[in-house]
Amino acid sequence: MKACILGCESAVLSAAERAFFRETNPFGFILFARNCQDREQLRRLVADLRAAVGRDAPVLIDEEGGRVQRMKPPCWRDSPAPGAFGEIFLRDPAAALELARMNARLIAEDLYEVGIDVNCAPLLDLREANGHAVIGDRAFAPEPETVVLLAEAWIKGLRAGGVVPVIKHLPGHGRTRVDSHHALPVVDADLADMDVRDFSPFRSLRDSLAGMTGHLLFSAIDPDHPATLSRKVVAEVIRQRIGFDGLLLTDDLSMSALCGSIGERAEQAIAAGCDIALHCNGVLEEMREVAAKVPALSGEGLRRAEAVLAEARAIRSTRQAVNRDQALDSFERKLASV
């Protein structure tokens, strides 16, 4: 298995993509809105991706709710943004935690139905007053303790529905003043302050089996390299200070926060200590470049990858089905009551 997760261009797998995936054998795949038309189409696409590599490869998606939903109405429901649960938490903490769990369980039901087994959520980033709107209500709350409690409830709901969560964006994206999709954010905060605030939720949930980096430059840690490409950030902060030992995915390498060719970005991310290079836009030539620059999974990266695969199998085997209509009605009635 190559140390990469790749996308595809459209709602149907092309012959060229199928041949490329068969030859390359990426660890897994990631889907976006362009890939999601309806349930039957999406189920076929997921099955075709796995058939291309001849194994039960993980299939990822970003289903956070709010602004970040790849599976959209009218085929799928419009779920609340994570920040909505933080607002409820201020009034009724117990109800907020239960609603966060119920919402994640409903998301997991939709993912499981089409064969998607990994969700790139929840965010453990803090909602900073001066932060860029790229995070905003994608974050649960400004307080680390609240973020941890709501994220734990969210994770419980995903796992109960047979879906593996991916915490993001290590080591913390809340302070960004620019959108990392378009430019490189520079964070000048003091390391001690970041340790108390930004890193704290990740430290509390450091036993998660999968996490994703953020493309930010932390001048107090490594003034020359963004986190995804920084040995210092990965080794000294993510692995040591935070204590995260799960599978470490890059954020999307095609984002404009990073410089250099796609292949150079992938190579540098693996050299920095990331386990998996994530490439999302589905451009075949770019995917070829990524695949040419990353190694086969081995050593600690392979151990961590196998732990994610084992978790996916385990929670699918213990998953209990729910009646979606009844669960949604219960969620909506509870949401309306707080």
- Tokens 């490439």 belong to 279
Q: CB under 8 Å to 49, separation ≥6 — which residues?
A: 8, 13, 21, 29, 57, 59
Q: Own/partner pairs for 128-132, CB < 8 Å, 24+ apart? A: 128/174, 128/175, 130/175, 130/177, 131/174, 131/175, 131/176, 131/177, 132/176, 132/177, 132/178, 132/179, 132/185
Using DSSP's 3-state secondary structure scheme, residue 46 falls into helix
Edge to edge, what strands does the sheet with 167-170 contain? 167-170, 210-213, 247-249
Contact 193, 202 (CB under 8 A): no
Tokens read off for 222? 């490594």
Q: What is the DSSP letter of 242?
A: S
Using DSSP's 3-state secondary structure scheme, residue 275 falls into coil
Tokens read off for 59? 């299939």
Contact 216, 184 (CB under 8 A): yes
**Catalytic residue annotation:** 181, 251
Contact 2, 24 (CB under 8 A): yes
Instruction: Give phi and psi for 215, each to the nearest 5.
Output: -90, 80
